Chain A
Amino acid sequence: MKTNVQSTHAERPNLISRYVPPAGVHDEMMNVDGTVRPHWQPVLNALAAFDPMERSVRADRMNRRVRETGIAHDMFADPSRMGQPWRVDLMPLLISADEWQWLERALVQRARLMNAILTDIYGEQKLLASGRIPPGLVFSDPSFLRAARDILPTGGMLQFFATDLARGADGAWRVIDSHTETPAGIGLVLANRGVHTHVAGEVFAASNAQRLASFFRDVQASLAQRCGRADPRIALLTPGPHHEDYFSHAYLARYLGLILVEGGDLQITGDQVMLKTLEGLQPIDLIVRCIEGALSDPLELDPSGFLGPVGLTQAARAHPDRVVNALGSALVENRGLGRYLPDISKALLGEDLMLHDAPRWWLGDPTANDYAIQHIDQLVIRPAHEATGRPGRASLGRMSNVLTPQQRTDLIRDIKLNGQTLVAEEKIGFGTSPVWTPEGLLPRPFAIRLFASAARDGYRVMPGGIAMTVNPDRAVGLNAPDGETRDVWVLSDAAEPPHVSLWRPTVDTAHVQRAQRVLQSRVADDLFWLGRYAERADWTMRVARSSVVRQQEDASQDVSQRAAIVCLQTLLAKDPKAALAASRAITPLQANQNSAAYMSRLLMSAAGGSHSLHHTCDALHRVAGLTRDRLSLEVSRTLNALGPQSAWRDRLALAPAGELMDRLDEGLLAIAGFYGLMHENMTRNSGWAFLDMGRRLERGLNLCEAITPLFGRTTDADDEMHSLMFLLEVADSFITYRSRYRLDPMLPLVLDLLLIDETNPRSLAFQLSSLSGHLSQLPLSRSGANLPEEQRILVALLSSIRLADVQALAAANERHERPNLVSAMTEQAEKLPELSNAIMRHYFNLKEELPHRVHTRS
């Protein structure tokens, strides 16, 4: 025993024994003489306290957490689309307190400078008239929005500012890009920090690094200040779930308590920005713009851009402080500007520029253009302006040594034709910093993104950021296709204040003062369908499970399987036959197309169709993605287990009968977990009402649709008894029935339990009365003297079921038909979809088309 322990110690690789930075390159952790810079020591000690196995486990857990959180591969993204790789290293990047003091001042200066440049260009344009900035650089940049001239917010053009920095070989920081269009991935810093502290909190605690929360409180205060009123309503405007930065937008919105909206949720009325909510149009005080400026208003800006509401420019003209960053703010991202900044800094701020740009030439300048063509083989050519919101996505550019002769000719032609849209750059090299590997720490070239925000008195820099590993042979900007990130920790001289509650992935946040939440019509729509799809998946799996059980346990197939076949047929009949292609999972033994075995397989494995289990789970996953800013992380993870490409889904199609039961149980458990989480965590507001209405409506509909074919005609007593047991099982009411009656199931008693008994949460009456309760609580539930359409339908359905007499329903005529039951169920099954449509018409503005353009041409 003792020797074992000793040998483990002896074999433990020293964390830094293999750490040798390349010669002539600045390294963050190690001095040239091989000694470790002192500010790294506490973190190294904390990591050394783990044994190597523990470090590997933590590193793996970190990336599992990344996947589960959805930073890496957006778990709700279209599965056919490539994920964005994103990994968080166990090893953070550390910045010492001394260095930070300088960086902080330098970044604040740059933010002030960029803000001053924008104020000039969208105002007096003295910088252009004096030639301090070549006018062509501005006039050729598509992000210069002429319509935004003179829209100058009193709080400044820039609320958010981010910059990408690289450490040159000489140890000096160089700016390799600026981000002034949107918050540029600020949410990812929060997410990374959350992941790191979740998995290795003790390392962070040992570091005495600054926390992020107070920075975000300043951001909140500053946004509120721009609104100029207490309890403002602030929206974060995102391009929507298809956008690569959506994760970051949703995360930031949730953290700051902003309403996450898309262009279609907003409408400009007069010159006011309004949000379409269940309560009607509600004014918005401030838009945090996460969409490209040029695409924000098809009326006055790029005519092809429909990401913002029509008329936003005019609204901003009337209220310049209503949009941050200001429209047109992306202009100063132009890479050609760097060369002119030292001079501009002197002119505008009267200060020497602290932080310089990497060496670059704007090729709209004739001299630079000639030079670039002559020295093409030593330069990298890139667009002067490119949108690079997501960290790591800067382009590599064109370097003649990796081009074919034809590409080289094309490059020279482009420089001659459109030099004004290009820059030429020299490679500056990148400093290194440690990454963790199972063999110990290794030096890797890196660049970092740091963030600043306007605060009450000037700009404040976030004490943190994102470092990414770059390929120094190719990259000149923050290009990190592998998504290898490191959390940036800014060390503090002072003792850090005790942990302030950072946002945790649960339903509500404690420290955020949030305005009363409003529900966008679009979100209500999505929640309604979330409820419907979850219930549809539940019902489908219950039917499948009850059929599969019978295939296994019962020898006398003919009798006991009739109910299963009828219910499966009902579900399959919702799709045209051709849509449900039989899958590879169906074996010859199951080939009888009228058997329950075949049909249950088809329902679970068919790829097409609109009611197949695959389709239902895909749809569930999609709407969960659309509503993810309303769902907790746990809910997302629970539903993700059923998502496309989940292991569960893979096994479901192929599993043999025995395993199939387990898979269905797992699926049902996931849905139950989803309901449980929602039930326990979701506040009982309109959002809850729509989710629950969707579920109730779907449940009622499935029940009615099953009853008619099962009991519309009498069959022999044995068969009917089996059918009743099947239905009780699918409707999860078997135990209730048994505890109540201690009899074999009889139709009138079962109908009472499943249709009329309002205390049974599985009964039709319960579904209808819940729907009624929700509808009467909703805003706009009474408009005018008459009941709205959906309430009228519901009153009819509910009274008809409340007035029903089970004996009459169960009565059969001489032709073995049960006309009362059939007509009652048919009425319900026809009216419930009408009810769904009426709800959608009333609340979701279905009629509204997307805006579109017209123009004349002579």
Chain B
Amino acid sequence: MIYDISHKTLYRYSAPVSQSHHIMHMSPRAFERQVVLRHSLLIEPAPTSCIEAADYFGNPTSRLCIEDEHSELVIHARSTIKVAARPLVDLDDSQDWQQLAPGLADASAPLDLQVLQFTWPSRHTMPTTEIIDYASASLQPGQPVLAAAWDLTRRMFKDFTFDSSATDVSTPISTVLKQRRGVCQDFSHLALACLRAARIPARYVSGYLLTRPPAGQQKLRGADASHAWISVWAPETGWVDFDPTNGSMPQTEHISIAFGRDYDDVSPISGVLLGGGRHTVSVAVDVAERA
């Protein structure tokens, strides 16, 4: 599959901004089954400096600073991405989740830090007793790790309702669990907390999701959105994606931008401003499938 993606963000400020700094995760990451064919980033007003470098997790980032006074900021990322389907995974043919930890610490080989770093809780994925209780139904003794992750994904899809008014960025996952409502970030954080409390390596994936219009209708421009899901590690397969919001295993309709421990590591745009007063933001995402 090849996709043309346009991700445009417009900030409007009620008062002039005298200096702004932003960090962005807007350039999709290349990895085994994803090739970046083209990527461009347009910023208006033109930044005083823009540094592109990989972050700690290897994700492409841009750090920009604008020192000219401005009351509007446009960030427009356009990418052409080729996504390959993942080979079929036999969920039951993965290691017992309880045996993972010793398996990771094979005394003879160097530890795989790229995997291990995702086994510990982070700011948004701290466990509670209730979270562990919720997870326990999916983490039966002897259960293969990927089967457990899939069971959790399905249960969450069944138990939780997508509701963008129920939470905001500061809502803790204990509340999400209690009210059984939230958005893709919340569900991903909660799933990660469930898995990491059991020391199962699991990471947060930020990306895009191709949406299809209802039958017979035209697809609306700008109607696609950023999305978030998780990826779980098993020694047999490496990282395998699960989408608790949609109860699915992503194949070719999920386009990854960045991996991290949670939203804070990979937030698409985060900025610090001097001045600016109140601000409004509008985001338009289009994911177009090439014929």
Partners in one complex: yes
The interface residues of chain A lying within 8 Å CB-to-CB of B116 are 135-136, 139
In contact, B120 and A140 (Cβ under 8 angstroms):
yes
In contact, A854 and B51 (Cβ under 8 angstroms):
no
**A147–B55 Cα gap in the complex (Å)?**
7
**A131–B116 Cα gap in the complex (Å)?**
11
A385 CB → nearest B CB, Å:
14
The digit string for A133-147, where 1 denotes a CB below 8 A from any CB of B, is 001100110100011
Residue among A135, A300, A303 facing the most chain B CB atoms (10 A cut-off) = A135
**A413–B274 Cα gap in the complex (Å)?**
43
Helix, strand, loop or mixed for chain B's interface?
A: mixed
The digit string for A115-152, where 1 denotes a CB below 8 A from any CB of B, is 00000000001001111000110011010001101000
B281 CB → nearest A CB, Å:
6
In contact, A853 and B271 (Cβ under 8 angstroms):
yes
Residue among A140, A146, A848, A856 facing the most chain B CB atoms (10 A cut-off) = A856
**A584–B8 Cα gap in the complex (Å)?**
66
The answer, yes or no, to whether A851 is at the interface (CB within 8 Å) is yes
Given contacts A139-B117, A299-B23, contact A857 B270 (CB under 8 A): no
In contact, B274 and A270 (Cβ under 8 angstroms):
no
The answer, yes or no, to whether A742 is at the interface (CB within 8 Å) is no
Interface set, chain B 166-196, CB cutoff 8 A to A: 168-169, 183-185
**A710–B276 Cα gap in the complex (Å)?**
48
In contact, A147 and B113 (Cβ under 8 angstroms):
no
In contact, A270 and B111 (Cβ under 8 angstroms):
no
**A300–B56 Cα gap in the complex (Å)?**
11
Nearest 8 CB-CB pairings of A with B = A146-B56, A858-B226, A129-B110, A855-B270, A310-B272, A140-B120, A139-B120, A135-B116
Interface set, chain B 32-81, CB cutoff 8 A to A: 48-49, 51, 55-57, 63, 65, 67
**A525–B18 Cα gap in the complex (Å)?**
21
Binding site for B on A (CB under 8 A): 125, 128-131, 135-136, 139-140, 142, 146-147, 149, 267-271, 298-300, 303, 310-311, 314, 364, 366, 413, 417-418, 420, 848-849, 851-858
**A851–B20 Cα gap in the complex (Å)?**
9
**A452–B127 Cα gap in the complex (Å)?**
39
**A381–B89 Cα gap in the complex (Å)?**
44
Given contacts A849-B274, A849-B275, contact A854 B65 (CB under 8 A): no
Size band of the interface chain B makes with A: 35 or more
The interface residues of chain B lying within 8 Å CB-to-CB of A848 are 18, 274-275
**A136–B119 Cα gap in the complex (Å)?**
8
Residue of A nearest to B107 (CB): A131
The answer, yes or no, to whether B268 is at the interface (CB within 8 Å) is yes
The interface residues of chain B lying within 8 Å CB-to-CB of A147 are 55-56
In contact, A854 and B11 (Cβ under 8 angstroms):
yes
Given contacts A139-B116, A299-B272, contact A131 B111 (CB under 8 A): yes
Given contacts A299-B21, A418-B127, contact A858 B184 (CB under 8 A): yes
Residue of B nearest to A366 (CB): B101
The digit string for B215-228, where 1 denotes a CB below 8 A from any CB of A, is 00000000001111
In contact, A856 and B268 (Cβ under 8 angstroms):
yes
**A354–B208 Cα gap in the complex (Å)?**
55
In contact, B272 and A125 (Cβ under 8 angstroms):
no
A146 CB → nearest B CB, Å:
4
The interface residues of chain B lying within 8 Å CB-to-CB of A858 are 183-185, 225-228, 268, 283
In contact, A129 and B283 (Cβ under 8 angstroms):
no
In contact, A300 and B23 (Cβ under 8 angstroms):
yes
In contact, A129 and B111 (Cβ under 8 angstroms):
yes
In contact, B283 and A856 (Cβ under 8 angstroms):
yes
The answer, yes or no, to whether B269 is at the interface (CB within 8 Å) is yes
B9 CB → nearest A CB, Å:
6
The interface residues of chain B lying within 8 Å CB-to-CB of A125 are 113
In contact, A269 and B271 (Cβ under 8 angstroms):
no
**A269–B66 Cα gap in the complex (Å)?**
10
B125 CB → nearest A CB, Å:
12
Residue of A nearest to B126 (CB): A418
B228 CB → nearest A CB, Å:
8
The answer, yes or no, to whether B264 is at the interface (CB within 8 Å) is yes
The interface residues of chain A lying within 8 Å CB-to-CB of B91 are none
In contact, A853 and B197 (Cβ under 8 angstroms):
no
Known: A130-B111, A131-B107, A417-B132. 16 other contacts (CB 8 A): A130-B110, A131-B111, A136-B116, A139-B119, A140-B120, A270-B49, A300-B23, A314-B51, A417-B128, A852-B276, A853-B273, A854-B270, A854-B279, A857-B168, A857-B185, A858-B228
**A268–B48 Cα gap in the complex (Å)?**
12
The interface residues of chain A lying within 8 Å CB-to-CB of B21 are 299, 310-311
**A417–B135 Cα gap in the complex (Å)?**
13
6 interchain pairs, CB-CB under 8 A: A131-B107, A135-B111, A135-B116, A149-B56, A856-B267, A857-B183
The answer, yes or no, to whether B84 is at the interface (CB within 8 Å) is no
In contact, A303 and B274 (Cβ under 8 angstroms):
no
**A149–B117 Cα gap in the complex (Å)?**
14
The interface residues of chain A lying within 8 Å CB-to-CB of B144 are none
Residue of A nearest to B264 (CB): A303
A37 CB → nearest B CB, Å:
49
The interface residues of chain A lying within 8 Å CB-to-CB of B113 are 125, 128-129, 135
Residue of A nearest to B270 (CB): A855
The interface residues of chain A lying within 8 Å CB-to-CB of B268 are 856, 858
A496 CB → nearest B CB, Å:
50
A224 CB → nearest B CB, Å:
29
B287 CB → nearest A CB, Å:
13
The interface residues of chain A lying within 8 Å CB-to-CB of B117 are 135, 139
In contact, A298 and B111 (Cβ under 8 angstroms):
no
The answer, yes or no, to whether B165 is at the interface (CB within 8 Å) is no
The interface residues of chain B lying within 8 Å CB-to-CB of A140 are 120-121
In contact, A270 and B270 (Cβ under 8 angstroms):
no
Residue of A nearest to B185 (CB): A857
The digit string for B1-19, where 1 denotes a CB below 8 A from any CB of A, is 0000000010100000011
**A267–B269 Cα gap in the complex (Å)?**
21
Residue of B nearest to A310 (CB): B272
The interface residues of chain A lying within 8 Å CB-to-CB of B271 are 299, 853-855
The interface residues of chain A lying within 8 Å CB-to-CB of B183 are 857-858
Residue of B nearest to A267 (CB): B19
B256 CB → nearest A CB, Å:
15
B173 CB → nearest A CB, Å:
13
B81 CB → nearest A CB, Å:
18
**A300–B64 Cα gap in the complex (Å)?**
12
The interface residues of chain B lying within 8 Å CB-to-CB of A131 are 105, 107, 111
**A300–B272 Cα gap in the complex (Å)?**
10
In contact, B111 and A855 (Cβ under 8 angstroms):
no
The interface residues of chain B lying within 8 Å CB-to-CB of A142 are 123
B127 CB → nearest A CB, Å:
5
In contact, B111 and A128 (Cβ under 8 angstroms):
yes
The interface residues of chain B lying within 8 Å CB-to-CB of A303 are 264, 270
Residue of B nearest to A146 (CB): B56
The digit string for B246-290, where 1 denotes a CB below 8 A from any CB of A, is 000000000000000000110111111111100101010000000
**A140–B113 Cα gap in the complex (Å)?**
13
A378 CB → nearest B CB, Å:
25
The interface residues of chain A lying within 8 Å CB-to-CB of B119 are 136, 139
Option from B48, B128, B129, B169 in Cβ contact (under 8 Å) with A855: B169
A70 CB → nearest B CB, Å:
33
In contact, A417 and B270 (Cβ under 8 angstroms):
no
